[in-house]
Structure formats: C-alpha cells, structure tokens
Amino acid sequence: MNLTVRVTGLEIPDPVRDQLTEDDVAARLVGKDATLWGPEAESESAIRLGWLDLPATSRELVSRLADLRAELAGEGLDRVVLCGMGGSSLAPEVICRTAGVPLVVLDTTDPGQVAAAMTDLDRTVVVVSSKSGGTVETESQRRAFVAAFAEAGLDEKEVGRRFVVVTDPGSPLSETAAAMGARAVFLADPNVGGRYSALSAFGLVPSALAGADVGALLDEAEELAGGLSEPGNAALELGIAMGAAFRAGRDKLALAGSGGQGSDPGLPGFGDWAEQLIAESTGKQGRGILPVVLESVDAPGSAGPDVLLAVVGSDAPAQGPSLAVSGPLGAQFLGWEYATAVAGRILGINPFDQPNVTESKENTSRILSDGLPDERPAATVGAIEIRGSGGVLDGVDLSSHDGASLAVEALLAAIPPRGYLAVMAYLDRQQDAGAEDLRAVLARRAERAVTFGWGPRFLHSTGQYHKGGPQVGAFLQLTGVVAEDLPVPDQPFTFATLQAAQAGGDRKALADRERPLLHLHLTDRAAGLDQLLSALS
C-alpha cells in the first residue's frame, strides 16, 4: 500500500472501528454499495460512486491527451489556461504545481485577474471545464476569451480551435462546445461528483495538456485502489480518524503540507483541494468537519482543543493530536476521497450532495436582475469602508482612526466558543495576494479556527459548510475597488457587477442566518490591505 497514515495523540474508541468492521464498510464501499449512508442518501449515492473506478477507467485518456498535447505544440500552442471552479480546477492546480509545469488557473470573477490571464494569446489554448456546464464564472470567462481571440484577429473557426472542453454528456456546455467548433471535447463520467473528480477528465485534461505525467498519477491511485476493500487499509484508517476526532469534539481539521521536507516531496495546493472535498462533503445538517488550510505545520491554528492536525506528505508524527499522511499525489487523491466517504458515514450525513450551495447563487442572480442594494457604510476609515450585520458593529466606536481594527476586534469577540472565523476575499489572487496574510494574523489574535478563502472560489468549497454546517461562524468579507472593469460579452453584467453580486449574494445568505459579519470594502486595495495588516499585526 502506497499510502500511510500515522495517528498520534488521538484515541480511537473501539466501537467506532468495530462498527465499521462489522458492517463490512471497506468492501461494501469498493463494491459501490449506495446504502452505506442511509436511505435518504441512497438515490444520490447510487450515481456518485464512479470515482472508485477512475484509476482504471481514465486510462484511455492518457494517450489521447499525449496526442492532443503534441498537436497543440506543433501549432505553437504551449500556454494552457484553465477556466473552471471548485471541482473543475482545484485538482489540476495541485497536479501541475506538484509536477512543476505551468498552468494558468482562472477561478475568479475579479476583472483585473481575468484581464491579466488574457495575455500571450498567440500561444494560448483555453480549457473550459464545468461538470454542470452552467457555472456562471466559467461561462463568463469562456465568453471573455472568445471575444479576446476574435479581437486578436482570429476568425470563428480559428477561435473554436483554441478551446478544449471538459463537461458531462448532455450539459449546456457540451452544446456550446459543438456550436463553437471546439478543438476537442472530453465528456466525463456523470457518476462522479465534482469534488471527487480529480482522477477523471476534469483533473487529467488540463494537467496533461500543461505537461504533467497523468499516467503516473493513475498508477499511484491504482496501487492504492488494489487494497481498499481490506479492513484496516490506510484510507479507511484516515476516515476513521476523521470521524473519531469529530465525535471527540475535534471538528476542525487543520491541513498542512510537509513543505517538501522529509522523505516525501511537497504537494503544493493540496490543502485547498482537500478543503473543498471535506467542507462540501461533510458540512451540512448543522454539523461537519471544518478544514483549515495552514501556511505551515506550526502556523497559528495547528493546535487547540477542537483541532486535529493533518500533515500531508509527511511520515513523521507532529505534536499533539495529529495525522501524518504520506504517499504520492495519485494515492492521496483517492485515499482522501475514500476517507471522506467513510467519515461521512460516521457523521451520519450524505457526503455526495451540497444542499446549501445554490442559495448564494440564487441571491446573486436576484441581485444581477434587481441591482445591488444601496448599503451605506457605517464609517470610512482611511482606505476602508466599514459595514456590518448580525449586531457586529453594535457599540463599536468607528469614529477614531483605528475604527477598522476596532470593528475587526468586535468581530473576533463575536466568534462563539468552538466557533470559527472565515475570511472571504473577493479580490485578485495575484495582485492582492497579501490578503492571505490576514489568516495567520487573525488566528493568532482569535485563538479560534480561522480560514481564508478567495471569493468566489470558496463559494464552491467552504461556502457549503458556512451555510449548512454548525452555525458557529463569524465572517469577514473583503471587497475592493475595481480599477478597470471588463465586460462579459453578450451578458447584461460585467465582471465587476458579477463579482459584487456574488459577494452581496453570500452576505445575504449569511445575514439571513443572523451570523456576525463584517464587510470591509477597500477603496484602494493595496493601501486598504496595508492599513488592515499593520493595524492588526
């Protein structure tokens, strides 16, 4: 078995393991028994277990993708841009970063970040990935690239040849792909959900075109797959540890990479992939495991009474209740998917649906048709406009020059015991990268779990947990002024209005739950971030 899981400092009660053994869960999961998560989950589970077969069924893609990559290279198309959200982009990002090959991942509606991806068009091929084929971010990016290629002088046929599409059979995107004459269309297995699709066409197509060795990835997964029906296998142990920790009150899973130390190479970006898998799969019905992606093994948030630390890519135990999960990337993907399905059974939830994701999307659509509500700031301090809901600004003196940090302090004070703070930044992941530093700064002050997510990307990941999981979150939303907007061709909105509507739609979903929420709008992005970080550090 090429995955090892070492559990340290966490007691696993015998009944948890005994029950799984008695119920023959390992073999039944490999046999795709849809009854494992109870009668209510059965119809969904019945069409969501195809990921178990992917190490074998995805094989046919390997040579097809090698041929396509060679064909593209022959035409000088060596820059790959991937448009896709959540399950359609997180895995390729890890695969390519781990392999050290360049892939431009576009999973945003930030106008500046989208515009920055539209360079070097003469050597660019765009992979448009969406399982449903109806994701607004992805479709908007596709339209923007079509227009950019046309503006660069390509005729309609040439434009189509710059696109490779990955989607489910019969989706609206499959029809669009045919209509635009896309160079290639890869239809994925509809019996695999987005966040379980790392080893399907969604993970493999962009990665192989960017130059990653996806055959090796499948080999790694296949080696693990061979032992997954055995009781006591490593992926089962991982799921048991996640479930037992949850039952013992350790419902925050802090994820850290080994940073390339020790015997395993690092797996950069793996935490963000696992975050979506765990948050969307378990965060529902008022419970769930909250993944907290850390900057390093000893970053703030790696320990605490409600925390289990998982170090990915390490075989050395860390301090405190922790897991060391080592193995190559292909085995990690399959192992964590299997473990999450097992943990889902222990938690008593359906690990294959995402019942609360649509809510923010619907709010966004409403804002796009009715317009943004006029929400006056409670105060403006320096480059930051301050707004709040859920009582977070009650009694806070916003008139002083440190009004913004007082507002943040009030938000931290509103985090309930065993709760968490989610920082949600609807900004440019490249240009405003410093926003990520807020996580550790705030975790140090809050002494509670603090997560960081780029909007709208996190809506397809932790967004489910925020709304469907335990209602113990406090929320810091960051938005910023847009220097130059970008149209979404043939749509009644621009990227800036879409981004603002997504932030507004999610604020509404959280406000409807009366969660404490602080919204800081940066009227100058760089100055606002500096102001915030220096006030809080």
Ligand X SMILES: O=P(O)(O)OC[C@H]1O[C@H](O)[C@H](O)[C@@H](O)[C@@H]1O
- 131 makes contact with ligand X (CB under 6 A): yes
One of 35, 132, 319, 365 touching ligand X (CB under 6 A): 132
Compute the distance between CA of residue 311 and CA of residue 323 in angstroms, rounded to an integer.
Answer: 6
Compute the distance between CA of residue 504 and CA of residue 506 in angstroms, rounded to an integer.
Answer: 5
One of 45, 108, 130, 363 touching ligand X (CB under 6 A): 130
Binding segment for ligand X (CB under 6 A), chosen from 79-87, 442-450, 467-475, 499-507, is: 79-87
- 88 makes contact with ligand X (CB under 6 A): yes
- 460 makes contact with ligand X (CB under 6 A): yes
One of 55, 86, 269, 344 touching ligand X (CB under 6 A): 86
Compute the distance between CA of residue 146 and CA of residue 317 in angstroms, rounded to an integer.
Answer: 50
Strands, E assignment, 343-471: 379-381, 384-389, 420-426, 449-454
- 468 makes contact with ligand X (CB under 6 A): no
Q: Between 183 and 457, whose beta carbon lies closer to ligand X?
A: 457
The CB-of-134 to ligand X minimum distance in angstroms stands at 7
**CB 114 within 8 Å of CB 108:** yes
Q: In 10 A of CB 458, how many CB atoms? A: 26
The CB-of-234 to ligand X minimum distance in angstroms stands at 26
φ/ψ region of 172 (left if φ > 0, alpha if ψ in -120 to 50, else beta) reads alpha
The arrangement of strands across the sheet holding 124-130 comes to: 104-106, 79-83, 124-130, 163-167, 184-187
Q: How many residues bind ligand X (CB under 6 A)?
A: 15
- DSSP β-bridge partners for residue 125: 80
Binding segment for ligand X (CB under 6 A), chosen from 22-30, 58-66, 131-139, 466-474, is: 131-139
Site string for ligand X, 353-392 (x = CB under 6 A): -x--x-----------------------------------
**CB 349 within 8 Å of CB 481:** no
Compute the distance between CA of residue 16 and CA of residue 260 in angstroms, rounded to an integer.
Answer: 33
Span between the terminal Cα atoms of the chain, in Å: 45
One of 5, 85, 309, 425 touching ligand X (CB under 6 A): 85
Binding segment for ligand X (CB under 6 A), chosen from 128-136, 156-164, 230-238, 430-438, is: 128-136
- 108 makes contact with ligand X (CB under 6 A): no
- 135 makes contact with ligand X (CB under 6 A): yes
- 165 makes contact with ligand X (CB under 6 A): no
The arrangement of strands across the sheet holding 384-389 comes to: 379-381, 384-389, 517-522, 473-480, 420-426, 449-454
Residues 306-345 close enough to bind ligand X by CB under 6 A = none
Binding segment for ligand X (CB under 6 A), chosen from 83-91, 108-116, 118-126, 424-432, is: 83-91
- 453 makes contact with ligand X (CB under 6 A): no
Compute the distance between CA of residue 246 and CA of residue 253 in angstroms, rounded to an integer.
Answer: 9
DSSP state of 125: E
Q: Between 135 and 326, whose beta carbon lies closer to ligand X?
A: 135
Q: What are phi and psi of 308, to 5 degrees?
A: -115, 125
The CB-of-139 to ligand X minimum distance in angstroms stands at 9
Q: Between 2 and 129, whose beta carbon lies closer to ligand X?
A: 129
The CB-of-279 to ligand X minimum distance in angstroms stands at 10
One of 20, 48, 61, 87 touching ligand X (CB under 6 A): 87
Residues 180-219 close enough to bind ligand X by CB under 6 A = 194-195
- Closest by CA position to 93, among listed 206, 15, 249, 172: 206
> Which positions touch ligand X (CB under 6 A)?
85-88, 130-132, 135, 138, 194-195, 280, 354, 357, 460
